[in-house]
């Protein structure tokens, strides 16, 4: 019988994870099936329990359940513990091993796909919610010269810095404090694009040739990427590469194999 995996979310119908993992499985000759499961908002745990009763081996967890997945985990990787959120679960007998592959997915996309090493660079991370926290540790571990978390509610950015006291390059502030500062890489981890809104970024935050990166993706440019273009960013990227790279890291966590992400990302871009 094929090994069973799934992505669980609400909503989940739009998820590209089944396409991506089926492509990885074909490429690496793995006998698995991968489903998309819609969990009712109040029934995440019950949905997981039912999936495990069908001998399910692992799941990807997406909006809005990453925090619940963290609590559901009986063991967590160090990066999941620091992220405070779990996007990947592996079931091993009674154990539910929780991991978080979002940060590694972002770093791999930035450094390998987009050719933007983080070491020594000035990085601005917009947003201080779950999405921002989920990626912080792997980004900090690459040694940026500065990593500034900027948030509409400045106190949340300052608070988030306290989770990573061993990184002196990390700092938190509100948007007005960015006046006169510029960055090599600006990452949008806010949910503002969902409401077609824009965080109040002052002009001048994009250094010459800077990369503007939106963790969201969709058809065409997001509002943040449109703003970045008018403010002189040198390179624009959406979160599709991060999606594929976090999936590859999850696949490795489950199967111990690393798929080649390039053809999968190229195929998704052709369809978009
Ligand atoms: P997620 O899990 O997607 O990170 P979240 O924890 O609700 O969701 O966090 C959403 C983030 O987007 C927050 O940093 C939020 O700023 P506040 O902490 O000030 O609420 C940010 N955000 C949402 N809408 C925004 C907007 N219109 N402008 C700027 N920031 C916005």
pTM of the full structure: 0.96
Radius of gyration over every alpha carbon of the chain, rounded to an integer in angstroms: 18
Please give the distance, rounded to the nearest whole angstrom, from the Cα atom of residue 131 to the centre of ligand 1.
Answer: 9
The CATH number linked to 117 is 3.40.50.720
Q: Whose CA is nearest to atom 26 of ligand 1?
A: 192
Per the annotation, the verdict on 57 as an active-site residue is no
Instruction: Give residue ranges with CB within 6 A of ligand 1.
Output: 127-132, 151-153, 156, 190-192, 197, 199
Is 229 found in the same domain as 265? no
Is 196 found in the same domain as 109? yes
Q: Whose CA is nearest to atom 8 of ligand 1?
A: 129
Is 74 found in the same domain as 200? no
Is 257 found in the same domain as 179? no
pLDDT(272) > 80: no
**Ligand 1 atom at minimum distance from 64 CA:** 2
The domain containing residue 200 runs over which residues? 103-238
Amino acid 193: pLDDT: 79
**Ligand 1 atom at minimum distance from 156 CA:** 18
Q: Whose CA is nearest to atom 6 of ligand 1?
A: 129
Instruction: Give the model confidence (pLDDT) of 212-222 as tens digits.
Output: 999 999 888 99
pLDDT(121) > 80: yes
Q: Distance between CA 86 and CA 72 in Å, rounded? A: 9
pLDDT(269) > 80: yes
Q: Assess contact for 244 and 261: CB atoms under 8 A.
A: yes
């Amino acid at each position: 019988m094929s090994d069973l995996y799934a992505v669980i979310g609400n909503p989940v119908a739009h998820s590209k994870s089944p396409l991506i993992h089926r492509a990885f499985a074909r490429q690496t000759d793995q006998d698995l099936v991968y489903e998309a499961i819609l969990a009712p908002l109040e029934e995440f745990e019950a949905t997981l329990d039912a999936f495990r009763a069908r001998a399910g081996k692992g799941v990807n967890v997406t909006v809005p359940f990453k925090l619940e997945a963290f609590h559901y985990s009986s063991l967590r990787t160090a990066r999941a513990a620091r992220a405070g959120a779990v996007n990947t679960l592996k079931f091993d007998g009674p154990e539910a091993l929780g991991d978080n592959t979002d940060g590694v997915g972002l770093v791999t996309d930035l450094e390998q796909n987009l050719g933007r090493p983080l070491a020594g660079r000035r990085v601005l991370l917009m947003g201080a919610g779950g999405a921002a926290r989920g990626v912080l540790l792997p980004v900090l571990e690459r040694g940026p010269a500065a990593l500034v978390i900027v948030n509409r509610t400045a106190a949340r950015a300052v608070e988030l810095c306290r989770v990573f006291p061993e990184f002196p390059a990390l700092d938190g502030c509100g948007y007005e404090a960015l006046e006169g500062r510029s960055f090599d890489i600006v990452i949008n981890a806010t949910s503002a694009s969902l409401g077609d809104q824009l965080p109040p970024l002052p002009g001048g935050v994009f250094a010459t040739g800077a990369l503007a990166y939106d963790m969201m993706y969709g058809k065409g440019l997001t509002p943040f990427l449109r703003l970045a273009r008018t403010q002189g960013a040198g390179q624009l990227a959406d979160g599709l590469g991060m999606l594929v790279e976090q999936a590859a890291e999850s696949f490795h966590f489950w199967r111990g194999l690393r798929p080649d992400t390039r053809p999968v990302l190229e195929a998704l871009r052709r369809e978009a």
